[in-house]
Amino acid sequence: MENRKKQLTRYQLVTWIIGILSLFLCLSLYVRFNKDAILEKLYPPVPEPVSTPDAEEKKGRWTNELPDDLTSRSSILVYVNEAHPLPADYAPDDLTEINIPSTGAAIVLREEAGKKAQEMLKAAKEDDIDLYLTAGYRSYKNQEELYASYVSLLGEARASALVEKGGCSEHQTGLSIDITNDSSGAQLNEEFAETDAYKWMSENAYKYGYILRFPKGKKHITGLSFQPWHYRYVGTKTAKKMHKKEKNITFEEYFGIYVEE
């Protein structure tokens, strides 16, 4: 009886050991084959604009002679990118904190752009479209930090197609907003382009002076991939004229900065 008990205990012990070893084996195999997914869960990436490459690239040329309206920093038409950067110490002098739906962080914009953004989101709400901002004005330093975080996540090549270096972003002008809604999971990605909220923006943003700054298939002109979330304030007069000329015409095409050849 005693022997049988001992045998049973030994048998149980061996079963336990085999069980635990199999569990470890399964676990290590799971980790091995799902490493990326696990790492992503443990260290979720910062909300990352994901863009597909623009298929069509036409040939054209840029002009360097810009009208005064586009080079004056205080103008609502100021043109900013890598070829036309802003100095590190530049900040607009009428920056105002805007009371507007957002992902939490305070949204700061130039006064006129902020007022119009408020009107726009109010009108959207009246049409049952819930939109909120994830970003407005960004300082040179914040832009540098953002760019560095993208580079460390995605490498230089992908990062530079998605986000600008310090001084090269329109967010430093206080005239640009990043906008999204819940159905795209509050992430800045191309899924937003499939939402009713994006459709509403496409049909109405220009009435409030905002234009889609980086439309689809225009990377060869704007320098950046499709960003359905990024809108730029250019004033209602200009936005309406642009919309009338061609829906989603780029800033560069409208002002003759880029000419197709």
Measuring CA to CA, which residue among 254, 172, 183 is closest to residue 212?
254
Beta bridge partners of 176: 232
Diameter over CA atoms, the chain: 102
Q: Pairing relation of β-strands 258-260 and 230-233? A: unpaired
Q: Which is nearer to Zn ion, 48 or 178 (CB)?
A: 178
Q: Which residue is nearest to Zn ion (CB)?
A: 230
Residues, the chain, total? 261
Instruction: Report, in Å, the least distance between residue 126 CB and Zn ion.
Output: 25
Q: Is the distance from CB of 78 to CB of 173 less than 8 angstroms?
A: yes
Instruction: Report, in Å, the least distance between residue 176 CB and Zn ion.
Output: 6
E strand or H helix that includes residue 197: helix 196-204
What is the SS3 assignment for 64?
A: coil
DSSP code for 119: H
Instruction: Report, in Å, the least distance between residue 191 CB and Zn ion.
Output: 16
Q: Which is nearer to Zn ion, 228 or 235 (CB)?
A: 228
Q: Cα dist. 81→115, 152, 171, 224 in Å? A: 25, 22, 10, 10
List 48, 164, 178, 190, residue binding Zn ion (CB under 5 A): 178
Q: Does 138 bind Zn ion (CB under 5 A)?
A: no
Stretch that binds Zn ion, among 17-25, 56-64, 77-85, 175-183 (CB under 5 A): 175-183
Q: Is the distance from CB of 130 to CB of 182 less than 8 angstroms?
A: yes
E strand or H helix that includes residue 109: strand 107-110
Structure-derived torsion over alpha carbons of residues 114, 116, 121, 122, reported in degrees to the nearest 10: 110
Stretch that binds Zn ion, among 37-45, 60-68, 71-79, 170-178 (CB under 5 A): 170-178
Q: Which is nearer to Zn ion, 218 or 230 (CB)?
A: 230
> Could you say which residues in the range 202-231 bind Zn ion, by CB under 5 A?
230
Stretch that binds Zn ion, among 46-54, 57-65, 173-181, 233-241 (CB under 5 A): 173-181
> Could you say which residues in the range 240-259 bind Zn ion, by CB under 5 A?
none
Q: Which is nearer to Zn ion, 178 or 190 (CB)?
A: 178
Instruction: Report, in Å, the least distance between residue 248 CB and Zn ion.
Output: 16
Q: Which is nearer to Zn ion, 40 or 82 (CB)?
A: 82
Q: Which is nearer to Zn ion, 171 or 255 (CB)?
A: 171
Q: Which residues bind Zn ion (CB under 5 A)?
A: 178, 230
